[in-house]
Chain A
Amino acid sequence: MIAFQDLKLAYRNVFRNTRRSLVTIIAIMLSCAGLILFAGYVAWAFKSAEAQAVVIFSHLQLARPGFYEKGAGNPTAYAIDSYGQIKQLLQDDAVIGPKLQLVSAQTVFKGIVSYSAAHTSSTFVGLGVFPEDDWTLLHWNPYKLTSPLDLPVNKAVYGSAPELSSNDPEGATIGIGLANVLQVNPDAKVLDKQINASRPAPSPQQSDPDLAALSQEVTQEAATQTLRPTIELLCAPPGGGMPNAMTMSVRKIFNRPTKELDNQSVKLDIRRASELLFPGEELKVTSILVLLKQTADLPVVVARLRELIAGGKLDVDFRTWTELRPFYNQLTQMFRAMFTFMFCIIVVIVIFTIYNTLSTGIAERIPEIGTLRAMGVTRAGIRKTFLLEGMFLGLFGGLLGVLLAIAGELVVNSLGVVYVPPGGSFYTKLEVLVLRAPIILVVCFGGFLLAALFSAIFPAHRASRMIIVDALRH
């Protein structure tokens, strides 16, 4: 049992040689803070990578059986024509429904795109989406990270409005690489200048501001559409036969997550994609996207989906976001390995630091140990004293390390460093999550405390085994 007397004695002994103990505590503090900040960065990297993957892939994608194995060559051959029913089924399900943030769909297809103004053409990968759903998906941010869409650097590229608009069904966006190949003018500023030049001056009689804004928006939309470059999309229908063609206007040019996609991507309203691929038919999609309110619900939803599929209520195959984005798992494994490696190295250093401090302290206190033993302190009592001293060193160093890490979090997060993380598609503000990931504090602090106790075991044991008369004679 640890009595107050033991704690008092151990505490005072820790600060008996103030300079030595302070150096040890500072070493523990810096190690602990460094590790917490790195863990905070790793936590942010995980959450950021997850958010960046989910806004692209959603949590789950449902497709017709065989799509994931054979659909890459001809995705439209695996089109789903019951999107509305599946969406309804998911929303009405007692398990899945409450966990849903959004159910949407996308159509992936391939074809040839040409830009007649420049006499250029290229193959493309088309992605049909519901414009508003796409925007909702892009804003999924349950971890309250700084949204990439709030960063000026991203706003310059992505704008502050949805990429596509249901009010503009003829508008498509293309990847910057494809725009270069097609020689579509990617300079949005030119377009903006042209729009501003063509915009009529507001009428002085127009007093209603809402009406004025609406009028301006419609005028701008019209001006934009008339000034936008037009491209022609050519696709072979899934059943073969004559290719279908469609003219779209380029709303904007975007960076895509990968160079390959950048060189081939055309994004358009899913209804237009369906018209292009399946003219005269009802809406067909290649995948149904399921976005959950939180990723933690995914296992439950996946289990329920399996039940529905096994019960014959759903005839689909599905993939989770981590299956669609294997890079995430690679990233997390790499960071986990790095963190574990760093943790081990730092903990070993801390163990040796505390061991050295305690050993030196013991060497200086041999007669005192003899005195305590003579007075009736048991070997266990001596061990306890030195274990407590080690614990105090770990406790003070760890606590100060936690405080320093919190201060470090505030500093790093206020620096506003932005970069495109590996595998990311947006500029992202670099953050460390310390207070928002309290488990890191618990693990690191607890780890250092245990390391401190561990490092005290051998010196404490050595002190307890001293021969009393030798210790008194020392």
Chain B
Amino acid sequence: MSTETVASPVGASPLVVLKGVRKEYHLGKTIVVALREITLSIERGFFAAIAGPSGSGKTTLLNIIGCLDDPTAGKVFIAGQDVAEYSDNELSHFRAHKLGFIFQSFNLIPVLNVYENIEYPLRLNGTPRKNLKERTWELIEAVGLTAQSKQRPNQLSGGQRQRVAVARALVTRPDLVLADEPTANLDSETGEKVLHLMKQMRDRLGTTFLFSTHDTMMVGHADQHFTMRDGTLVQTKNGNGSAASSL
């Protein structure tokens, strides 16, 4: 895997490219700038991290890359496609097929069991019935939850829930999985295991991962990481800790 990092949309085949992305929020008459002209690119198959303190804009950046939020200015390209051109329905379709999400609070559907939670995105993106079981079980086994497949989320530990979330995010074989502080609600040991699982799945399926964290220990696992402060990308590094660029 390439360890070359870029802070500008150049490279062989970047999966994610952001050009001058700015995000402002209006709180009454006050304008809060959450992102200031972010420009970055992430190569396919990278295990990338966004680090930074709370309020630095990590989640906002992930939301924009995940097509959950619109930038106030700038362009977002995913797999070469300018997502601003998509309608709401097209974005839903895009997310269902190309993106996977892992949330800090797991966000599993409480009325569905482990199997159903993982199977749900497959049904959503219209996977043929004959492939549903096979692909769902493949992921359940991969995350080691075969014995818990019939259990509902409230019967699982935090680590197990996040493993379900990882499986759910990967079951559709998306191009990109976005994880917003996936280990924040877990103890360090479990967090480490979940991160290890994510990396393992990246190795196995070749899926690009982008996760946010404020834990510097976690950043060490990334092939590429971005550091943010006050809505600005202040540093981009490759996996061995060397600075590829400093902004």
List residues of chain A with CB under 8 Å of any chain B CB: 3, 5, 8-9, 12-13, 16, 367-368, 370-381, 468-469, 472
**A371 closest partner in B (C-beta):** B107
Chain B residues with CB below 8 A from A367, complex form:
105, 107
A472 to B111, CA, bound (A): 18
Q: A372-B109, A375-B95, A377-B92 are in contact. List 16 more A-B contacts (CB 8 A).
A: A3-B123, A9-B109, A13-B111, A368-B109, A370-B107, A371-B107, A374-B95, A375-B96, A375-B121, A375-B124, A376-B92, A376-B96, A376-B124, A378-B93, A468-B68, A472-B103
**Which B residues are in CB contact (< 8 Å) with A375?**
95-96, 101, 120-121, 124, 168
- Check: B125 CB closer than 8 A to any chain A CB: yes
Report B-chain residues with C-beta under 8 Å of the C-beta of A374: 66, 68, 95, 101
Q: Give the chain A neighbours of B149 by CB distance below 8 A.
A: none
- How far, in angstroms, from A338 to B88 measured CA to CA in the complex? 48
Contact between A377 and B69, CB atoms less than 8 A apart: no
- Kindly state whether residue B89 has any CB partner on chain A within 8 Å: yes
CB atoms of A376 and B68 under 8 A apart: no
Which residues in B have their C-beta under 8 angstroms from that of A12? 111-112
**CB nearest to A9 among chain B residues:** B111
For the residues of A in contact with B, the DSSP-based class is: helix
5 closest Cβ pairs, A-B complex? A376-B96, A12-B111, A371-B107, A376-B95, A378-B92
**Which residue of A is nearest B108, CB measured?**
A371
Which listed residue (B88, B101, B110) contacts A378, Cβ 8 A? B88
Using known A-B contacts A374-B95, A468-B68, determine if residue A379 contacts B121 with beta carbons closer than 8 Å. Answer: no
* Residues on the B chain within 8 Å of A370, using CB: 107
Point out the residues of chain B lying under 8 angstroms from A3, CB to CB: 123
The answer to whether B120 and A5 have CB atoms under 8 Å apart is yes
Q: Which chain A residue has the least Cβ–Cβ distance from B124?
A: A376
Q: Cβ of B58 < 8 Å from any Cβ of A?
A: no
B97 within 8 A of A: yes
Contact between A376 and B121, CB atoms less than 8 A apart: yes
Q: Count contacts on B: residues with CB < 8 A to the other chain.
A: 28
A469 & B69 in contact (Cβ 8 Å cutoff):
yes
Q: Are B125 and A376 in contact (CB under 8 A)?
A: yes
**Which of A9, A377, A378, A469 makes the CB contact (< 8 A) with B68?**
A469
B110 with A16: CB separation less than 8 A: yes
Output the nearest chain A residue to B107 by Cβ-Cβ distance. Answer: A371
With a CB–CB cut-off of 8 A, which chain A residues contact B235?
Answer: none
**B103 touching A378, Cβ below 8 Å:** no
Central interface residue in B89, B99, B107, B168, by most chain A CB within 10 Å: B107
Beyond A9-B109, A367-B105, A469-B68, is A378–B121 a contact (Cβ under 8 Å)? Answer: no
Q: In the complex, what distance in Å separates the CA atom of A105 from the CA atom of B134?
A: 83
| Complex contact A377–B124 (CB within 8 A) | yes
Are A373 and B92 neighbours in the complex by a CB distance under 8 Å? yes
CA–CA, A468 to B107, complex, Å? Answer: 13
Are the CB atoms of B92 and A371 closer together than 8 Å?
Answer: no
Question: Quick check: is B8 within 8 A (CB to CB) of the other chain?
Answer: no
B35–chain A nearest beta-carbon distance, Å: 13
Closest A residue, CB atoms, query B106: A371
Is residue B63 within 8 Å, beta carbon to beta carbon, of the partner chain? yes
Give chain A residues whose Cβ lies under 8 Å from the Cβ of B123. 3, 5
Complex: chain B residue closest to A5, CB-CB: B123
Residues of A within 8 A of B110 (CB): 16, 368
In angstroms, Cα B103 to Cα A465, docked, is 21
- Asked if A368 and B88 make an inter-chain contact with CB atoms under 8 angstroms apart, the answer reads no
Contact of A376 among B97, B105, B112, B116 (CB under 8 A): B97
Nearest CB on A from B198, distance (A):
18
B76 to chain A, nearest CB (A): 14
Report the separation of the CA atoms of residues A376 and B86 in the bound assembly, to the nearest whole angstrom. 13
The residue in chain A whose Cβ has the minimal distance to the Cβ of B105 is: A367
* Inter-chain contacts of A468 with B (CB < 8 A): 63, 68-69
Chain B window 118-143, contacts with chain A (Cβ cutoff 8 Å), 1 for yes, 0 for no: 00110111000000000000000000
A378 to B89, Cβ gap below 8 A?
Answer: yes
CB distance from A47 to the nearest CB of B (A): 47
Chain A residues with CB under 8 Å of B105's CB are: 367
B109 close to A376 (CB less than 8 A): no
A8 and B113 alpha carbons, distance in the complex (Å): 12
Q: How far is the CB of B204 from chain A (nearest CB, A)?
A: 22
| Complex contacts, A5 vs chain B, CB 8 Å | 120, 123
Q: How far is the CB of A55 from chain B (nearest CB, A)?
A: 59
Q: Check A368/B107 contact, CB under 8 A, given A5-B123, A374-B68.
A: yes
How far in angstroms is the closest Cβ of chain A from B167?
13
Cβ–Cβ < 8 Å partners of A373 in chain B: 68, 92
Smallest CB gap from B60: residue in A: A469
Cβ distance B122 to chain A, nearest Cβ, rounded Å:
10
Would you mind naming 30 contact pairs between A and B with Cβ atoms under 8 Å apart? Answer: A5-B120, A9-B111, A13-B111, A16-B111, A367-B107, A370-B107, A371-B103, A373-B68, A374-B66, A375-B95, A375-B96, A375-B120, A375-B121, A375-B124, A376-B92, A376-B94, A376-B95, A376-B121, A377-B92, A377-B96, A377-B124, A378-B88, A378-B93, A379-B88, A380-B89, A381-B92, A469-B63, A469-B68, A472-B63, A472-B103
Q: Which residues of B contact A9 (CB under 8 A)?
A: 109, 111-112
The residues of B that contact A381 with a CB separation of less than 8 Å are: 92
CB closest residue in chain A, given B104: A472
CB neighbours of B99 from chain A (8 A): 376
Q: How near does chain A come to B71, taking the closest CB pair, in angstroms?
A: 12
List B60-89 residues whose CB lies under 8 Å from chain A: 63, 66, 68-69, 88-89
Complex interface residues of chain B between 19 and 51 (CB less than 8 A to chain A): none
Q: Smallest distance from the beta carbon of B139 to chain A beta carbons, Å?
A: 15
**Docked pose: A472 CA to B60 CA in angstroms:** 12
State the Cβ distance, B89 to closest chain A Cβ, in Å.
5
